[in-house]
Structure formats: structure tokens, C-alpha cells
Chains A and B, each alone.
Chain A
Amino acid sequence: MKYNTMKAVYPSPTTVSENKVQLAHGGGGKLMQQLIKDIIYPAFENPILNQAHDGAVFNMTESKIAMTTDSFVVNPLFFNGGNIGNLAINGTVNDLCCCGATPRYLTASFIIEEGFSFEKLRHIVNAMKKSASESGVDIITGDTKVVQRGLCDGIYINTCGVGTIKESVSISSDRIKTDDVLIISGKIGEHGISILSARNELGFDVDISSDTAPLNKMIGELVEKIDVHFMRDPTRGGVASTLNEIAEQSGRQILLYEELLPIPEAVNNACEMLGIDPLCVANEGCILIFVSKEDEKKALDILHKYEAGKNACRIGEVRNVTSVANVIMHTYMDNYRVIDHFSGEQLPRIC
């Protein structure tokens, strides 16, 4: 178990108060043991983690495996609807879902800034535990490093996940066909706007919570009952960037309908105030799903049974590629506009 072999990047002891993480907590000594024993183990406990080895040893029966990794560096760490801990689990679980996999095991690595409070760390670890048990995955190995103050922004978390895929399931962008229907499983823009609001810099309040949620049960049922051609979660860069990537990979054009987009009014209004495009705002709890026209109703019926999918709806369709643009949108005024890759950072404008 790596937790026993951790080394601090700067292993010099300091005199920080006792309710804060000190460099020595990453130093491999008694303090480090205590941190792991008090905070990490009680939350993540499971038979494989309890092996307390350098790595996790486990069996997988299926031959088709999906694996993914993601690092979480969100600012602020705590926001309406969750914290970095929820994101770290849900993000990786959802990435596995999009591969058509059943998420099984996750790893968790922490890079913690010296002086980070134990209370916050506990909150984050408990959020990870909650999301992990909701999605039915175990965290089976991990690592903790402590770095000098100023070298990291509070805490960074990396998670890596493995999942198993049934032989019959094949999710791949080259399976997207002309006339396929594009479904989104939830509302657009809630996570990004809730983060922007929590980030006090812009100083606005909005009654929106991040949509972060593990979607594996819902998506699990979907891929079991329906031939899903392709799925992606529109996280960073939002729906616009994700669809552009998909269109490029599949060599097809995607047509959206403005009137069908489930954008909450408050998200729309916040975007108008800041001068940003809701389609470029990040999401953490919804998935873009491509199915054949015949399967549309069946797919929506399944999604609607779940809390995270109750707002699922069709938002567009796949067309033959044209030379015009990869993603276009039919607007409420009956014309078309190009939906481009999101360029750079979403920043408030004056004009």
C-alpha cells in the first residue's frame, strides 16, 4: 500500500497548529500514519484497501476493461451541490460510464498544501466516500503528498478508475450514424455557473447547485437495454466543445435545436449578465447520448426513471458531413448558426 511508502516533496518538519496538515504529514513517519489512519482509512475502508500493500491486488472476470484517469484542481474547493471530493469520484465514474463500462475500482491520490485544515480534508474525504458508495465503487489504493505552502492551491486530487464492459456493448464515435438522435441526460450549465458563483471574484449569487452526480446506475441500465452508439460527458468546454470533438471524430455534422436545449433560466440569465455562452459552460452530471431514431423513446423512458435523468430530452440529430461546420444550431428565429469550439477561458466581457 502506497500510503505506507509516501514521501513528502519537502520533508522538513514545521510548527503548524495541530488541526492543519503539516509537511511532516507527508513525511512517512508517525504523523503520516495518523493522517491515513484517522481520515483516509475510515472513509474508504474495504477488503482490498485493507490489504495495505504497495498496490491493490484484485481479480476481474470480464476480459473487456475500461480504464480512465482524471485530475481535479477546482477553485473553489467547496461549492453549491458538492466539493472537489464529489467531483473526483463522479468525474471518473462518469468517464467509465461513457465507455459503456460498469465502474468497479478507483484509486485516489492527494496532493495537499501545507496548512490545509483537517476539517476540510475530512469533508472532502467524506464526500468521496458518499459518492463512491452511491455509485457502488471501491477506492482500493492511493497516495498522499504534502507540498510546501504556495506550491498547490489547497488540495489536488487524482483518481484513476477501472470498469468492466460486457462483450455486447460497443461505444465508439465511429458508430455514430446519419439520422442518429442526440439526447442529453440533464440540464445544461449548472455546474459551471455554480462554480463561477462560488468563486467570489465575480460576486454574484445564484440559486443553482452543481449537477455533479454519479450516473453509472442510470447509464448502466441504458447500455444494457439499448444499443447506445456513443456517449460523452460535456465537462470542460461544455456541450459546444464536446460536440465539436465528437463531430470531428465521427466525420459527421451535428445539428442542435435551440428550442429543445434544457438550459435553466438562471443559467441563461447568469450567462447573459457575464456575456458567456451556456453551451460552453461545464457540466458534471449529464451525458450526451447518441442512439438510433428507433431507440429514442425507449432511451428517454429509461433516463426519466432516474433523478439525474428526469430532464433528459432530445436536443439534436446527426447529419451527413458538409463543408460548412461540424456543429450547427437551428435557432428560435428559424435560422442556423455555427457552434464553434469554445475558444479559451470563459471570461466576463464588457462588450
Chain B
Amino acid sequence: MIMNEEYRDKHKIISLIKAINKKATRRWKIMEVCGGQTNTILKSGIEELLLDSVEFIHGPGCPVCITPEQKIDEVISLSTIPENIILTFGDMMRVPGSFKTLNEAKSEGGDIRVVYSPIDSIKIAKENPDKKVIFFGIGFETTMPLYATLLLCAEKLSLRNLFILHSLYSVTGILNSLFIDEMINPDAVLAAGHVCAVTGYDDYFQISSSYNKPFVIAGFEVFDILCAVYSTIEMLESGECDVKNEYTRTVGKKQNSVVKSVFETVYEPANQKLRGFGELSNGGYRLKERFEAYDAGSCLRSELNKFRDTKKNDNYCMDSIIMCGKAIPTQCQYFANSCTPMTPKGVSMVTSEGICAAYYKNCLNNTIKKYEI
């Protein structure tokens, strides 16, 4: 991949790991928020190489995993109406709602389509003027410019058949709620570079100082994460508490002014329900009144609860506790026994960025090594 090779060089990675281990005088608890970073950490095996210096706490940064069951139920309800076309991302398809998944709803006749980009829904709405095209829009701030673009474009083109059923999350909102909980108490946080690429990192200074935790903006390649870990440990060892940026090639301190004004035009902060967390105050965003005509949550309200099933999913796995960093997957009795990516019990085993799935794929190293390979 362009511009990624330099960040995957094994020798550089090994010497940076050595440097980190040299710097750390104790084992520090560092939370990475983003599922993409969790995957990089587990896939590369750096967790094991940093065993004496860092205990990684895997945070709730998978938007697919934290999307509440009720939202999926609503989408399924919309899909039972023949004139509706539902569009969404591929990883939403296997996530269970209270009753079933979108894949199951699709096989029962719902017109549910996977697209690469929300932008594609403009074309689909134009091609199907007699249908309602509804994008199931979930995500953190990273994905929100896409929905904003969609809404502004739909407004410009006077598209009356395009809607968004949204479930939008705020990283800072979730972090605030995490740190109030004493069970989750990392020494420092690696902030997700892709969110910061959209939002800047001005907002982190306040969280950092009020909870007294160093924040470092990290990229997604192994080397990026190690640089951020080094920088974090440097601060922790010297007792410094600040916000630093180790993803400088992509992230600036301030939000891009154009994106900022787009955000302000389209969104406002709101309380948000999250799977595993419940409702968080200012945990997400909603659309401003100007875009109400595109908000499936309000203008298709009557269609959201058409579908009810008798049998509820009854998977009492630990995934909600795991998702907010209070437990690791191996502590769950089902993990890698009856719960695998092929037979997932909880949502974080379903999506490949989910913590359980990432653990399943990448974290059996110690067990494997026991067998002397």
C-alpha cells in the first residue's frame, strides 16, 4: 500500500520495541480506543513483545459493535416494507439485533444492499424514484462527513426519496463515560488517528487534564502505534500529562475549517444509546432540524416498529463487559469454545474489528507456542 511500507519494516519495529522496553520502568496500562488499532496490535504480536512495559486495554472503538440492538430491529422493520431499499456497510449484515441479523432479514425478502460508500446511495436513489432509499448510517466522527455530504447533496438535488437511519457516536462522549467508571482506569490513552483526522485533537486537552491521563494520537500501522506507545511511556515515566500527536502526517491540531462548518451545519450533539453502555449523555449526534425530512428516525417513524418476533436472542456472553474494556475475551466462558467467528454469540465476535474476533484470530500465540512450533 502506498506510504505504508515504511511503517511495516520489521527491523525498525524491533528496535523501537527495544527502545520502549528500555524506557519503561514498570508495566503501564494503555488503552487504545479504536478496533483497527486493536487489530494491528494483536495481529502483529507486539502485545507479547511489550509484555513487561505495556498492558493494552482494548477500548470500545468499533462502531458496528456498539450499535444498539434496537437500531438493527428498526432497520429490519423498514426492510419488511416492499417499497424500501436499505443500504448499509458489509460488516453490519451479520450483527444480531434483538431478533435476527440483516442477513436473515435479507434472505426473508428484504431489499438490503451492501455498498462501499454512503455516496453510492445518491445514484441508487436517483435510479429508484418510486422507492424509498434508506441508508443505515452508523459511525464515529470519521464517517460523519460522508453522511453530511449525502444530506447536503440530496438537499441540493431535491431528492425526496433518500433517508438516513442514523446511529452516530462521539469518541469524546464515550471516553468521558469510560473514565467516570473506576473499573476502567488506564494510565494513558492512544487516541484513534482516523477520528482525529476529521475532528482534530483540540477536544482531548480538556479530557486529558481533567482525568489526568496522557493522550497520544496514533496511526494504524505497527510502527505508528509503537511510536505512540513510546511517546506515551516517555510522558508517563516523567510524570508529564499532555496531548501529543504521533500521526502528524495526517492529523492536525484543529479541525479542517471546511469540515467544521459542514459538521456544524448538519449535526448537533445528542444523547446516544450504545450497546453495552446504555444511554450516554452527549454520547453521539443527531441531525439538525433542517435535515429532518431526510431523517428516517423521525419521518419514517411509523415504519420502525412494524416488526416484532416472539423469540429473543438469549446469548448471555460477556461481550458488553468486554467491549468497554472491563474484561478480556479469554475471561468469557464461551470464548473459542462455543463462540467462534463461524458461530458468534456476541457482537464483538461477529465483526472482524470486534475485540473477541480479533483475539480469536490473533491472540492464541501463547497457546500455539506451547505446542513447540
Tell me if chains A and B make direct contact, with any CB pair below 8 A.
Answer: yes
Interface check A272, CB cutoff 8 A: yes
Interface check B115, CB cutoff 8 A: yes
Q: Is the CB of B103 within 8 A of A344?
A: yes
- Chain A residue nearest to B92 (CB atoms) is A350
When A333-B45, A335-B48, A340-B360 are in contact, do A347 and B340 touch as well, CB less than 8 Å? no
Interface check A201, CB cutoff 8 A: yes
Bitwise, B10-40 to A at CB < 8 A (1) or not (0) is 1001000000000000000000000110000
Q: Is the CB of A338 within 8 A of B13?
A: no
Q: Is the CB of B340 within 8 A of A340?
A: yes
Interface check B139, CB cutoff 8 A: yes
Interface check A294, CB cutoff 8 A: no
Residues in A neighbouring B361, C-beta threshold 8 A? 337-338, 340
- Chain B residue nearest to A336 (CB atoms) is B368
Q: Which of A203, A269, A349, A350 has the most CB of B within 10 A?
A: A350
Min C-beta distance of B100 to chain A, whole Å: 15
Residues in B neighbouring A272, C-beta threshold 8 A? 1
CA distance A330 to B120 in the complex (A): 38
Interface check A202, CB cutoff 8 A: yes
When A255-B373, A344-B103 are in contact, do A334 and B364 touch as well, CB less than 8 Å? no
Q: Which of B10, B63, B361 has the most CB of A within 10 A?
A: B361
Residues in A neighbouring B367, C-beta threshold 8 A? 324
CA distance A116 to B233 in the complex (A): 66
CA distance A288 to B182 in the complex (A): 52
CA distance A319 to B371 in the complex (A): 11
- Chain B residue nearest to A244 (CB atoms) is B342
CA distance A108 to B342 in the complex (A): 35
Q: Is the CB of B43 within 8 A of A337?
A: yes
- Chain A residue nearest to B115 (CB atoms) is A201
Min C-beta distance of A269 to chain B, whole Å: 5
Q: Is the CB of B35 within 8 A of A347?
A: no
The residue that B341 contacts in the complex, of A322, A336, A340, with Cβ under 8 A, is A340
Bitwise, B53-84 to A at CB < 8 A (1) or not (0) is 00000000011100000000000000000000
Min C-beta distance of B224 to chain A, whole Å: 15
Min C-beta distance of B198 to chain A, whole Å: 14
- Which of chain B's residues 71-106 have a Cβ closer than 8 Å to chain A? 89-91, 93-94, 103
Q: Is the CB of B62 within 8 A of A351?
A: yes
Q: Is the CB of B91 within 8 A of A351?
A: yes
When A335-B45, A337-B43, A347-B91 are in contact, do A274 and B116 touch as well, CB less than 8 Å? yes
Interface check B156, CB cutoff 8 A: no
- Which of chain B's residues 350-367 have a Cβ closer than 8 Å to chain A? 351-353, 360-362, 364-365, 367
Bitwise, B112-139 to A at CB < 8 A (1) or not (0) is 0011100010000000000000000001
Residues in A neighbouring B139, C-beta threshold 8 A? 350-351
- Chain A residue nearest to B354 (CB atoms) is A351
Min C-beta distance of A107 to chain B, whole Å: 31
Interface check B305, CB cutoff 8 A: no
CA distance A334 to B14 in the complex (A): 11
- Chain B residue nearest to A330 (CB atoms) is B373
Residues in A neighbouring B115, C-beta threshold 8 A? 201
Q: Is the CB of B373 within 8 A of A319?
A: yes
Q: Is the CB of A322 within 8 A of B371?
A: yes
CA distance A275 to B364 in the complex (A): 22
The residue that A349 contacts in the complex, of B8, B46, B90, B364, with Cβ under 8 A, is B90
Q: Is the CB of B116 within 8 A of A324?
A: no
Min C-beta distance of A338 to chain B, whole Å: 5
CA distance A147 to B136 in the complex (A): 35
Interface check B271, CB cutoff 8 A: no
Interface check B44, CB cutoff 8 A: yes
Q: Is the CB of B114 within 8 A of A348?
A: yes
Total interface residues on A, CB under 8 Å, equals 33
Interface check A50, CB cutoff 8 A: no
Residues in A neighbouring B143, C-beta threshold 8 A? 350
Residues in A neighbouring B8, C-beta threshold 8 A? 332
Interface check A343, CB cutoff 8 A: yes
What secondary structure prevails in chain A residues at the interface with B? loop
- Chain A residue nearest to B139 (CB atoms) is A350
CA distance A123 to B94 in the complex (A): 38
Interface check B312, CB cutoff 8 A: no
- Which of chain A's residues 118-150 have a Cβ closer than 8 Å to chain B? none
Interface check A236, CB cutoff 8 A: no
Interface check A39, CB cutoff 8 A: no
- Chain B residue nearest to A341 (CB atoms) is B342
Interface check A4, CB cutoff 8 A: no
Q: Is the CB of A333 within 8 A of B222?
A: yes
CA distance A328 to B114 in the complex (A): 30
- Chain A residue nearest to B353 (CB atoms) is A351
When A325-B364, A347-B91, A347-B93 are in contact, do A336 and B369 touch as well, CB less than 8 Å? yes
CA distance A334 to B373 in the complex (A): 11
Q: Is the CB of B368 within 8 A of A347?
A: no
Min C-beta distance of A326 to chain B, whole Å: 12
Q: Which of A332, A350, A351 has the most CB of B within 10 A?
A: A351
Bitwise, A256-291 to B at CB < 8 A (1) or not (0) is 000000000000110010110000000000000000
CA distance A349 to B358 in the complex (A): 15
CA distance A348 to B88 in the complex (A): 10
The residue that A338 contacts in the complex, of B10, B103, B360, with Cβ under 8 A, is B360
CA distance A103 to B93 in the complex (A): 41
Q: Is the CB of A350 within 8 A of B45?
A: no
The residue that B116 contacts in the complex, of A201, A255, A335, A345, with Cβ under 8 A, is A201
- Chain A residue nearest to B368 (CB atoms) is A336
Interface check A331, CB cutoff 8 A: yes
CA distance A335 to B41 in the complex (A): 12
- Which of chain A's residues 296-351 have a Cβ closer than 8 Å to chain B? 319, 322, 324-325, 328, 330-338, 340-341, 343-345, 347-351
CA distance A272 to B64 in the complex (A): 18
Min C-beta distance of B330 to chain A, whole Å: 14
Q: Is the CB of A349 within 8 A of B44?
A: no
Q: Is the CB of B64 within 8 A of A350?
A: yes
When A331-B43, A348-B89 are in contact, do A203 and B353 touch as well, CB less than 8 Å? no
Q: What are 19 inter-chain pairs, A to B, with CB distance below 8 A?
A: A269-B1, A322-B368, A322-B371, A328-B364, A330-B373, A331-B44, A332-B10, A333-B45, A333-B46, A336-B369, A337-B361, A341-B341, A341-B342, A344-B103, A348-B89, A348-B114, A348-B116, A350-B143, A351-B139
